[in-house]
C-alpha cells in the first residue's frame, strides 16, 4: 500500500487534510523518522511524495479511553497505548512504565472491548533471547499464553511466551506461497511454529518442504501444527540450521526462506550450500529507511563470491515499518551455480 511522506513540521496539517478528505487508510499505523512522517493513504496526494510498502494493521481498542476515564488521569490517558497485537484470542499489550500501577485496570478494560479476547498478556521486555522470544505475562482473563491462530486457512497452535511469532508477515507468507510452483523442494530456515511452511503447503501441496527450527518449543508446536493441518509434505527438523543443511541438505532446494528477524545474513553461506542451481532465496532484514537494501545486498554479493556462484536480485521491497528510522525489508534473489 502507499504511505505519504510528509516533513515532520507539516505532519499535523497533512494529517488533517487526508483525514477530512477520506484519504487516510484507517486501521493502519503511521510511522516516522527524524525528518518525515509516513501516513498510510488510499491513493497518492498531489504535492506529496509516496513510498510503497506493506501496511501494518492493528487492532484499535474501541472505547478504552472512555472505560478508563474515571480511573486514569488526563495525563495518564495521554500515555495510554490503545493498540495491541491480537494472536488468536490473546491481546499482547504494552504498558508504559508510568502506568505500571494501573496495569490491571487497563488489562481488564481491554478485555471488555473485544468479545473475542480471553487473555491479555503484557510485554515484559525486548526480544532478546537465543530463540527470539519476547517475555510476556498474562495479567487479565485466563491465566495462559497458549492459543490457536488462523491464517490463510491454516490453524496454528503456539505459546506466545515460548516461541517467536509475527502476525506482521502474514502478507509475505501469502505472497511467497503464490510464487511456489508444483514440485519445488523448499528449505524453510528459522521456521518457528511453521507459518511459512504451513501456508505454502496449503496453497501448493505438491511440494517437498523441509522446515528447520532451533527452539525445542517451536519444534514441538510445528510438529503439532503439521498434524493439525494434515500436511504430508512437511519434514520438521530440530536443531541448528547450519549443521542440518551442511549435513543433510546440500544442493537440495529450489527455494529457501530466511525470515530470521535479525542476523539472517550470517546464514547466507547456509543458503548457498543448500541451493540448487536457479534456487530462489527470500531473505528478511531490518535496515535504515533511507537506504534499506545496501547492506544486505552487499552481504549477498560477498557470499556469492565466496561460494563461487552468482546472485541475481529479482525483487526487493519494504515489508513494514519497525521502529523510528528502521524498516523490515525482503530481498528475493536467484542463485546461479552453473
pLDDT, averaged per 10 consecutive residues of the chain (338 residues), comes to 89 87 85 83 89 70 78 92 90 94 95 90 80 90 97 96 92 96 98 98 97 97 98 97 98 97 92 98 94 95 97 94 88 94
The predicted structure's pLDDT at residue 110: 93
The predicted structure's pLDDT at residue 256: 98
The verdict on residue 15 lying in a domain is yes
Does residue 326 share a domain with residue 311?
A: yes
The predicted structure's pLDDT at residue 58: 60
Give the sign of the dihedral formed by CA 270, CA 274, CA 278, CA 283.
Answer: negative
Q: In the listed set 33, 52, 71, which residue is the last one of a domain according to the structure?
A: 52
The predicted structure's pLDDT at residue 36: 86
Does residue 211 share a domain with residue 96?
A: no
Exposure b/e, 225-237, CB count within 10 A at least 16 = b: bbebbebebbebb
- The CATH number of whichever domain residue 48 belongs to comes to 3.30.70.2580
Does residue 240 share a domain with residue 140?
A: no
The predicted structure's pLDDT at residue 216: 97
Does residue 270 share a domain with residue 121?
A: no
The residue range of the domain holding 103 is: 59-144
Does residue 208 share a domain with residue 315?
A: yes
The verdict on residue 191 lying in a domain is yes
Does residue 196 share a domain with residue 75?
A: no
Answer whether 200's CB lies under 8 Å from 222's CB. Answer: no
Does residue 195 share a domain with residue 90?
A: no
Does residue 71 share a domain with residue 41?
A: no
Which residue is associated with the grid cell 505500571? 100
Q: In the listed set 144, 174, 199, which residue is the last one of a domain according to the structure?
A: 144
The predicted structure's pLDDT at residue 35: 81
The verdict on residue 34 lying in a domain is yes
The verdict on residue 154 lying in a domain is no
Q: Give the tens place of pLDDT for each residue, 203-255.
A: 999 999 999 999 999 999 999 999 999 999 999 999 999 999 999 999 999 99
The verdict on residue 240 lying in a domain is yes
Does residue 216 share a domain with residue 172?
A: yes
The predicted structure's pLDDT at residue 129: 66
The predicted structure's pLDDT at residue 323: 81
Does residue 108 share a domain with residue 205?
A: no
Does residue 137 share a domain with residue 249?
A: no
The predicted structure's pLDDT at residue 314: 97
The predicted structure's pLDDT at residue 128: 63
Q: Which long-range contacts (CB under 8 A, 24 or more apart) does 80-85 make?
A: 80/106, 83/29, 83/58, 83/59, 84/58, 84/59, 84/110, 85/58, 85/59, 85/167
Number of domains in the chain: 3
The verdict on residue 112 lying in a domain is yes
Does residue 67 share a domain with residue 36?
A: no
Amino acid at each position: 500500500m502507499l504511505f505519504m511522506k510528509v516533513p515532520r513540521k507539516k505532519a499535523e496539517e497533512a494529517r488533517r487534510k487526508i483525514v477530512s478528505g477520506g484519504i487516510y487508510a484507517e486501521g493502519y499505523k503511521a510511522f516516522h523518522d527524524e525528518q518525515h512522517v509516513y501516513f498510510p493513504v488510499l491513493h497518492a496526494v498531489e504535492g506529496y511524495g509516496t513510498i510503497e510498502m506493506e501496511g501494518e494493521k492493528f487492532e484499535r481498542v474501541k472505547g478504552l479511553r472512555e472505560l478508563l476515564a474515571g480511573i486514569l488521569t488526563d495525563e495518564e490517558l495521554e500515555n495510554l497505548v490503545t493498540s495491541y497485537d491480537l494472536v488468536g484470542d490473546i491481546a499482547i499489550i504494552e504498558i508504559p512504565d508510568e502506568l505500571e500501577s494501573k496495569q490491571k485496570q487497563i488489562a481488564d478494560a481491554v478485555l471488555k472491548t473485544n468479545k473475542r479476547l480471553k487473555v491479555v498478556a503484557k510485554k515484559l521486555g525486548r526480544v532478546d533471547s537465543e530463540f527470539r522470544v519476547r517475555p510476556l505475562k498474562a495479567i487479565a482473563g485466563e491465566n495462559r499464553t497458549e492459543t490457536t491462530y488462523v491464517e490463510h486457512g491454516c490453524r496454528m497452535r503456539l505459546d506466545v511466551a515460548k516461541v517467536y511469532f509475527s502476525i506482521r508477515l502474514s502478507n509475505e507468507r501469502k505472497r511467497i506461497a503464490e510464487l511456489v510452483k508444483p514440485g519445488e523442494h523448499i528449505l524453510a530456515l528459522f521456521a518457528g511454529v511453521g507459518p511459512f511452511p504451513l501456508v505454502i503447503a496449503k496453497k501448493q501441496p505438491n511440494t517437498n518442504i523441509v522446515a528447520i527450527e532451533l527452539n525445542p518449543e517451536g519444534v514441538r508446536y510445528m510438529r503439532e501444527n503439521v498434524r493439525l493441518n494434515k500436511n504430508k509434505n512437511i519434514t520438521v527438523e530440530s536443531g541448528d540450521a547450519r549443521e542440518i543443511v551442511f549435513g543433510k541438505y546440500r544442493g537440495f532446494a529450489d527455494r529457501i526462506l530466511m525470515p530470521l528477524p535479525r542476523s539472517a545474513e550470517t546464514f547466507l553461506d547456509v543458503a548457498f550450500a543448500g541451493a540448487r542451481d536457479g534456487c530462489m532465496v527470500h531473505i528478511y532484514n531490518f535496515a535504515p529507511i533511507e537506504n534499506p537494501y545496501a547492506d544486505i545486498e552487499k552481504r549477498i554479493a560477498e557470499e556469492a563470491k565466496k561460494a563461487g556462484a552468482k546472485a541475481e536480485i529479482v525483487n526487493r521491497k519494504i515489508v513494514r515499518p519497525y521502529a523510528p528510522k528502521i524498516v523490515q525489508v525482503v530481498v528475493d534473489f536467484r542463485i546461479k551455480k552453473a
